[in-house]
Structure 1
Amino acid sequence: MPIIYKYDVVPSAEQIIELYNNAGLPRPTQDAERIRKMYQNANLIITAWSGELLVGVSRCITDWVWSCYLADLAVRDAFKKSGIGRKLVALSKEKVGPECMVLLLSVPTAMEYYPKIGMEKVENGFILPRNK
């Protein structure tokens, strides 16, 4: 079945939670309301579907002209290494345009992945971590 990418569909919190848990993405999946708010407040969401099954998502927060924070990139385990993550990142960059950078914070297990899809590692960032 072909993978279909959509800009106009926001998955339910339940679909997102199931995908994140399957993909091993450490997010507050025990808190459906928090997941719902994460998506409600994002302004660029791209999804990947195999039929009715959510197989990937890119969730971004952007100003459309300077920076785009790619907050979540998740691909269902059975679909990893099929190019879905690469395509979701490319579509995110395409959507925000050439004047806008795409940046992210990587989970430790994905540190080797991002350079493989053309992203540059940076050493000039800082963070105030969340308390919960």
Structure 2
Amino acid sequence: MEISLSTDIDSISWEELARLFELAPLGKKRDPKKVEIAFRNSLLRVFAFHGETLVGAGRALSDGVWRAAIYDVAVLPKYQGKGIGSMIIRHLVDSAKVDVIMLYAVPGKSKFYERFGFRKMATAMAITPNEDEARKRGLIE
């Protein structure tokens, strides 16, 4: 299976990407307009295609010097386990060129990211719009 990576943000269907996040699953249904804003405001972004089909994506915020944070790494379920998530992570990590890269991951996926050198942080904290829901999903203590 040939997978190609692209950073061309202008060729993306935001509805298709929002649907990918829902199917991956990467949480609740997302508004395509907000998905577009998030990706356009990210310094780094990458999209994985099988032919013309969008099968994966990821993005990172960065100051370009010291810190970057990776978000929204997702692959369609039928394409998971084929190395596409690894391609996305490697692209984002290699492109970041900073001292420290943090990662926001779905609970239960830590082992996948540990293969790339990511380790759990003892000092990360978050403010969320719905603490009960975040606690239920295992995002906060």
Q: Distance in 2 between matches of 1:58 and 1:27?
A: 17
Q: Distance in 1 between matches of 2:102 and 2:127?
A: 16
Q: Distance in 1 between matches of 2:99 and 2:6?
A: 21
Q: Which runs of no fewer than 5 residues in structure 1 stay unpaired?
A: none
Instruction: Give SS of 2:121's match.
Output: coil
Query: What is the CA deviation profile of residues 75-124 of structure 1, one whole-angstrom value per residue up to 9, with x for unaligned ones?
Result: 11111111111121111111112x33221122113233222333212211
Instruction: Give SS of 1:36's match.
Output: helix
Q: Distance in 1 between matches of 2:9 and 2:115?
A: 28
Q: Distance in 2 between matches of 1:101 and 1:27?
A: 29
Q: Which sits farther off after the overlay, 84-93 or 5-14?
A: 5-14
- Residue in 2 aligned with 1:17? 18
> Match of 1:110, as an amino acid?
K
> Match of 1:51, as an amino acid?
G
Q: Distance in 1 between matches of 2:72 and 2:29?
A: 12
Q: Distance in 1 between matches of 2:78 and 2:60?
A: 23
Q: Distance in 1 between matches of 2:91 and 2:9?
A: 15
Deviation at 1:38, TM superposition (A): 1.4
CA RMSD of aligned residues (A): 1.9
Q: Which runs of no fewer than 5 residues in structure 2 stay unpaired?
A: 132-141
- Residue in 1 aligned with 2:109? 110
> Match of 1:56, as an amino acid?
G
Deviation at 1:32, TM superposition (A): 2.3
The number of equivalent residue pairs is: 130
Q: Distance in 2 between matches of 1:8 and 1:28?
A: 24
Q: Distance in 2 between matches of 1:89 and 1:13?
A: 21
Deviation at 1:28, TM superposition (A): 4.3
- Residue in 2 aligned with 1:68? 68
What pairs with 1:1-132 in structure 2 (closer than 5 Å)? 1-10=1-10, 11-29=12-30, 31-97=31-97, 99-130=98-129
> Match of 1:5, as an amino acid?
L
Q: Percent identity?
A: 26
Q: Distance in 1 between matches of 2:37 and 2:82?
A: 29
Q: Distance in 1 between matches of 2:29 and 2:37?
A: 11
Deviation at 1:45, TM superposition (A): 0.7
Runs of 4+ in 1 over 6 A off after TM superposition: none
TM-score scaled by structure 2?
0.81
TM-score scaled by structure 1?
0.86
